[in-house]
Amino acid sequence: MAGIGIERATKIFARTTAIKGISLDIKDGEFMVLLGPSGCGKTTLLRCVAGLEHLDDGRITIGDRDVTDLAPRHRGIAMVFQSYAVFPHMTVEDNIGFGLRMHRRPKAEITRRVAEGAELLGLTSLLARYPAQLSGGQRQRVAVARALVMDAPVLLMDEPLSNLDALLRLQARADLKRLHKEVKRTTIYVTHDQVEAMSMATASR
């Protein structure tokens, strides 16, 4: 469906150069992990791919489209944030369906895809709850479900497991791996955890 091409990407903040001339080719369906200490620019790179930051130089392609100057919503991406960024004023169901509603999908389709997404992440019994009534692990799964139901060709994850306790993290890691096998979305995954990186990345590099 869509590989990601990053060519000589450079991003400069007021005083620091966050990323400098990075080029990277990510194949379709690949699970690419960006590993590095905090502050090394991996989240910045991810945010540039998402369109939340604007490149100062270089270009980014998704599939065969140049998305360098496109808004996030036109890039064909879905993102899971480190803080999950689950909307506190919406139920789990509305959270998961938010992106589909924004894309004006028909009601029946939204209901169906939300049910599928909830099923996939074991959230079916929690659909009517508000985020405040969920545990950290459940919120994390809502964030993943919300991104997955978009069926975007590219999935971006910014340390999605770093706020979970050790046991949950193992479980969630296994879940994410299984999900990637099932949905085969091109994924960029940012982490500073080496074990996580080794166990999740597509092996062929």
Partner 1 sequence: MNARVLDRTLVYGGAILLAFWVLIPLYLIAISAFTPQARLFDYPKPLVPTTFSTETMQFFLEARGVIPSVINSILVALFTIAFGLALGTPAGYALARFRFRGRQAFQVIVLATKMFPIAILSIPLAVTFLQLGLYDNLIAVALVHTAMALPFIILVTGGVFVAVSHELEEAAQTLGCSRWGAFLRVALPLALPGLAAAAIFTFVISWNEVFAATILTLRTRTLPAQVLAGLGTSPLGFKFAGGLFMAMPAVAFIFLIRRYLMNLWGSR
Q: List contacts with partner 1 (CB under 8 A).
A: 50-52, 71-73, 77-79, 81-83, 85, 87-89, 98-99, 102-103, 146, 150, 156
CB 196 within 8 A of CB 119: no
Of 197, 187, 194, nearest to 28 by C-alpha is 187
> Would you say 44 and 18 are in contact if contact means Cβ atoms under 8 Å apart?
yes
Task: Tell me the two tokens of residue 126.
Answer: 């929690």
Nearer to partner 1 by Cβ, of 50 and 200: the residue is: 50
Q: Which is nearer to partner 1, 53 or 170 (CB)?
A: 53
The least distance separating partner 1 from the CB of residue 75, rounded to whole angstroms, comes to 8
Q: Which is nearer to partner 1, 106 or 203 (CB)?
A: 106
What spatial distance separates the first Cα and last Cα of the chain, rounded to whole Å?
20
Please give the helix or strand (H or E) that residue 64 lies within, else none: none
Identity of the residue, 71 or 108, whose beta carbon is nearer to partner 1 in the bound complex: 71
CB distance 174 to 143 below 8 Å: no
Question: What minimum distance in Å lies between the beta carbon of 58 and partner 1?
Answer: 21
**Is 176:200 a contact under the CB 8 Å cutoff?**
yes
Write down the least CB distance from residue 52 to partner 1, Å.
Answer: 5
Q: How far is the CB of 142 from partner 1 (least distance, A)?
A: 11
Pairwise CA distance, residues 19 & 41, whole Å: 6
Residue whose CB is less far from partner 1, 26 or 150: 150
Residue 159: Cβ-neighbour burial (10 angstroms; 0-12, 13-18, 19+): buried
What's phi and psi for 21, nearest 5 deg?
Answer: 55, 45
| Shortest Cβ 199–partner 1 spacing (Å) | 26
Least distance between partner 1 and beta carbon 113 (Å)? 13
Nearest to 88 by CA among 37, 149, 142: 142
Residue placing its CB nearer to partner 1 in the complex, 82 or 91: 82
